[in-house]
Amino acid sequence: MAEVRTGAAIVAQSGGPTPVINASLLGVIEEASKHSQISALYGARFGINGIIHEDFVDLLAQSKSTLDGLNYTPSSALGTSRHEVQRADLQRVLDVFRAHDVRYFFYNGGNGSMGTADEIARMAADSSYELNVIGIPKTIDNDLMLTDHTPGYPSTAHFFACAVRDIGADNLALPGQVEIIEVLGRNAGWIVGATALAREQENDAPHLIYFPEEPLPLDRLLADVDRVFRKLNRCVVAVCEGQLDEHGEPYGADVRRGSRGSLAMNLGHRLAILVSERLNIRARSEKPGLLGRSSAAFILKHDWHEAQECGRAAVRAAVAGNGGNMISLLREKTSEYRVQTGEVPLRDVALLEKVVPAALRSDHDVTPEFLAYAGPLIGSVRHYPQFEPVSVPKRISPKLESHQ
């Protein structure tokens, strides 16, 4: 183990909040207090901005009741940021680190943040400033390379699998219409694919699942919906907010782009209108949206614990002198689901995006390989019973067809 310098540590959360991002923070706090090399632990408020403006909260001075209260609290307790980091920002970050004698930096984010973390590590090395930068993986999108999965994905996928089950039960009880469920995810279909776990029996929702990895021609969507609806008199479609048609366009949906990706959009609604107009079938859409990444009720315990373990592992890696790495999750090849943490170089995950491979998806569904991957991560979704069809013999002539 390399000798590391004693100094302060900073932890920051970056990008969109997740249901378990605070678990990683709690893991960092818990582990940091065990290591004498870490003389202080500051939390940056609102991501990189907190470092730039020296806006810190002293995390080792928090009361036990505050820390206990953060257990199973979703969203980012420190605040986060989507600020696009510039070169001048990074120089300022290093100046602030020097001023506070910061020797450990834990950056909890996705692939963009891992790129920033890698740049900070390189700039520190170039100026011979001893700094251990460790990335902690976080993204509901599950699109980080070199890790079995990313903390936050299982809970968010669980939310959407349950949402599809519940809206599917509503659609079964009050049939005669099509339900479009807009699922979080721009480029990677890990979450939308996981809605397949809502099924128990044939004909259970979701009836159609589309992956944003492939363009979906409107005519194909309409043909699929029409086929399902004619058979079942109902249809639940799971589609990503980022799904594009064969022209690379969102079907004419009303999308306003912010500085990073789209903000307001109504893709599900647009598809419901198209189904209604072109197929003359009643259709509506639901868009749980950000509720899917912020709902406390759907946090999975193992996701929370894995996120917490990533925070602990990050501190251990830092005091071992392994700066420049990101913590990863490795799934053991056992029949029972088990994971361990590992480490991968930041530069190998920075800015790369892991989409769903072709072998895990079909035209309008997942493949068994997808279920083998996602099933153990998300676990079983409780299913609802149906009445046993003990029917009662009819006693009078059938009602006229007009009432069928």
| Per CB under 8 A, 102 contacts a second copy | no
Contact between residue 222 and residue 274 where contact means Cβ atoms under 8 Å apart: yes
Contacts of 31 (CB under 8 A, 6+ apart): 311, 312, 314, 315, 316
Exactly one of 141, 143, 224, 303 is catalytic; which is it? Answer: 141
Beta bridge partners of 7: 38
Site mask for a second copy (CB under 8 A), range 365-404, x = bound: -----------------x-xxxxxxxxx-xxx-xx---xx
- Please say which residue, 32 or 360, places its beta carbon nearer to a second copy: 32
Q: How far apart are CA 27 and CA 316, in angstroms?
A: 11
- Residues in region 41-100 near a second copy by CB under 8 A: 42-43, 46, 49, 52-59, 61-63, 65-66, 69-70, 73-82, 89, 92, 95-96, 99-100
Structure tokens that stand for 154 in this block: 């299982």
Structure tokens that stand for 274 in this block: 């198209």
Q: How far apart are CA 186 and CA 54, in angstroms?
A: 33
Contact between residue 220 and residue 274 where contact means Cβ atoms under 8 Å apart: no
- Residues in region 233-262 near a second copy by CB under 8 A: 254, 256, 258
- Please say which residue, 54 or 365, places its beta carbon nearer to a second copy: 54
CB of 206 to a second copy, least distance (A): 14
- Residues in region 259-318 near a second copy by CB under 8 A: 263-266, 269, 272-273, 276, 282-291, 293-298
Instruction: Read off the DSSP letter of residue 133.
Output: E
| Per CB under 8 A, 169 contacts a second copy | yes
Hunting for tokens 């939308």 — which residue is that?
Answer: 192
Strand order in the sheet with 177-183: 177-183, 235-240, 208-209
Q: Which amino acid appears at position 373 of this protein? A: Y
| Per CB under 8 A, 195 contacts a second copy | no
Task: Find the binder of a second copy among 123, 145, 172, 371 (CB under 8 A).
Answer: 172
The rounded Cα 185 to chain-centroid distance in angstroms is 8
- Please say which residue, 297 or 358, places its beta carbon nearer to a second copy: 297
| Per CB under 8 A, 103 contacts a second copy | no
Phi first, then psi: give them for residue 107, nearest 5 degrees.
Answer: -120, 115
| Per CB under 8 A, 204 contacts a second copy | no
| Per CB under 8 A, 155 contacts a second copy | no
Q: Which stretch binds a second copy (CB under 8 A): 118-126, 171-179, 326-334, 341-349?
A: 171-179
- Please say which residue, 36 or 65, places its beta carbon nearer to a second copy: 65
